[in-house]
Amino acid sequence: MPFHRPQETDHRHVVKRYVTRKHGGLPRYLVLNSGQFLGPRWRHTTRFTRHLIADAAAITDEDLKALLGYEWRSRLTAAWLIGVDRRERFRARIGDLLLASEVCYSGGAYCFALARFGTPADAEILTSYLDHYLPRTDLHYDQAAALGALLRLDARLGTHQADRFTEPEGLWDQWVHALAHLHGSPWPIPAEEHRWTDRQCDFANGWTRP
């Protein structure tokens, strides 16, 4: 999935409006990636979220497609806008980008969007990702975010698709234990990833239509 520079497709104005727009002196993509707006201490949270919701409703599908064709900052922002507005018509594209894992940082935003859609089809995409990437113990990609999103969907749908990944000595344990640089260091357990995804989705639920 090759990506382009905005200037090559004359969409620089889209990036400026939706991706690099400043909030509290910080570009939107950086605020989204850090998650600081999910906490109570950032004084710009209310304004930031209102602008995010408004832009999620206003952005056109064409502009979203353009952003999903650029680098990680644009893709991350586009996935958040898609998730907030629950544009399920982007499910296949989001799933393809997640499985391809071409760029850094944006994978967590894809997982958020799938968790927001909240259907068995989204759970299927996440399980496919985990089936593919948890055995890759040499890769530290978005395995934790995908598992957190799947746990969220299990709780919502009354399913247990994450169980086979989280069972003792299952794929999750094997992946964590195989990453030598994590030995002796804190690492998010599945329950913590579930709570992080819950915070993201509950944030969106609190500001948008249910």
Contact 102, 128 (CB under 8 A): no
Backbone angles phi, psi at 66, to 5 degrees: -65, -45
pLDDT in tens, 24-68: 899 999 999 988 888 778 889 889 999 999 999 999 999 999 999
User: Residue 188 pLDDT > 90, yes or no?
Assistant: no
CA distances from 102 to 17, 79, 141, 189 (A): 24, 15, 10, 25
pLDDT in tens, 86-134: 999 999 999 999 999 999 899 999 999 999 999 999 999 999 999 999 9
Domain regions of the chain by residue span: 6-207
The tokens of 106 are what? 């944006």
Is 22 in a helix, a strand, or coil? strand
